[in-house]
Amino acid sequence: MSDQPTKPGLPPGFLIRPATAADVGTILGFIRALATYERLLHEVVATEETLRDTLFGQTPRAEVVLAELDGRPVGFALFFHNYSTFLAKPGIHLEDLFVLPEFRARGFGKALLLHVGRLAHQRGCGRYEWAVLDWNEPSIRFYKALGARPMDDWTVMRVTGEGLERMAELAANGGP
């Protein structure tokens, strides 16, 4: 059952629903398809097992909603809570939003984006944020049309793999 009735402009049979552990294979398929689109498939190391543990295990770290048309998964959104000290409120970070190519330009991506935005509002969040690759002009135009604005004064920083291991070692040994 959907927690979102069909909206005007969306076809009957379209719904967005929370994912369950039974959807892990579908979620991994969407992650791989998104990574292929973003030219980053070589970076995907997620497995059904790791997704099951991190999304549906004892301490879920993120949430997923699936968009379906007549029972067929056509897209997904994966998001998690963050926190703004300036606002003293939680926020939602949208990590992934993806619609299968053959189902694009039908309002499904917009419906997913708005669905998560509605959840942020309902949960009292002060922010709803996501990142987009600089070269992805169609998505940037789409997001701007919905009122999103780029954060030009900020640079995303990331530490992974060996760098993260090195940080842990430095912290364990009292610093640099």
**Residues with catalytic annotation?**
143
Cα–Cα distances (Å) from 147 to 37, 63, 117, 128, in that order, read 24, 24, 12, 12
The single-letter code of the amino acid at 19 is A
Is residue 175 left, alpha or beta, with left meaning phi > 0 and alpha meaning psi from -120 to 50?
left
CA-based radius of gyration for the chain: 18
The single-letter code of the amino acid at 111 is A
Q: How many separate helices (H) and strands (E) can be counted in the chain? A: 5, 5
Torsion angle (degrees, nearest 10) of CA 90, 91, 96, 100:
120
With H, G, I as helix, E, B as strand and everything else as coil, classify residue 18: strand
